Amino acid sequence: MLQYHPLKLIRTDMNHLFKISIFLIAVLLGFSSCGDEPGDRPIGDWEPMKWNNVDNLAKVNNIYVIPEEGGTFTFECKNYKPWLSDVIINTEHQDIYSSGSRKDYKNDWFEVKITDKKVVFTFEEIEEPMTGRTVEVVVTAGDIFDFFVFQQQKIQ
């Protein structure tokens, strides 16, 4: 004959009740974390970076055209404080981490510096005959990315 033990029955019911309570709390938190308020954005739906082309640098087919003599060009991000994610020069990724900062990169003819919301690009003059050079700079502000593509050609 089975023996009935009242404390074991209560303990089993309490464990079951505890598990159901935890499940219900998790479900309620899951539903309440999705906002329905205007302006709420789902995770990963970041507002694109908005830029002010301070020097009105010409852009053709999404490529900024750098004059042969080079120059300094400033872009200001209106809604984020970006930092460098990648620098690609003539299809080769550059080491942007050696300086210990993700706010600047420099080689012998190109430099990019980021201060607060301003990104300043400096290009030296093309001196030797060449077909041209291309620079792509990727900036980020966390989960949002944007890029600049520059092309500088020597006019023959």
Q: Work out the average pLDDT over 115-138.
A: 90
Question: Cα-flanking dihedrals φ and ψ of residue 8, to 5°?
Answer: -65, -40
The answer to whether residue 10 sits within a structural domain is no
Given a cut of 60, whether residue 7 has pLDDT beyond it is: no
pTM: 0.70
**Is 14 contained in some domain?**
no
118 touches 134 (CB < 8 A): no
Residue 23 has pLDDT above 70, yes or no: yes
Decide if pLDDT at 64 tops 60: yes
pLDDT class of 30 with cuts at 50, 70, 90: low
CATH code for the domain of 82: 2.60.40.10
In a domain, 35, yes or no: no
- 109 inside domain: yes
Residue 31 falls inside a structural domain: no
9, pLDDT greater than 60:
no
Average pLDDT over residues 95-113: 86
Mean pLDDT across the chain, nearest whole number?
83
Q: CB–CB of 97/84 below 8 Å?
A: no
Domain of residue 92, residue span: 51-152
Total domain count for the chain?
1
Whole-number pLDDT of residue 89: 92
Positions of E strands within the chain? 51-53, 59-60, 63-66, 71-77, 83-89, 92-93, 104-106, 110-115, 118-123, 133-140, 145-152
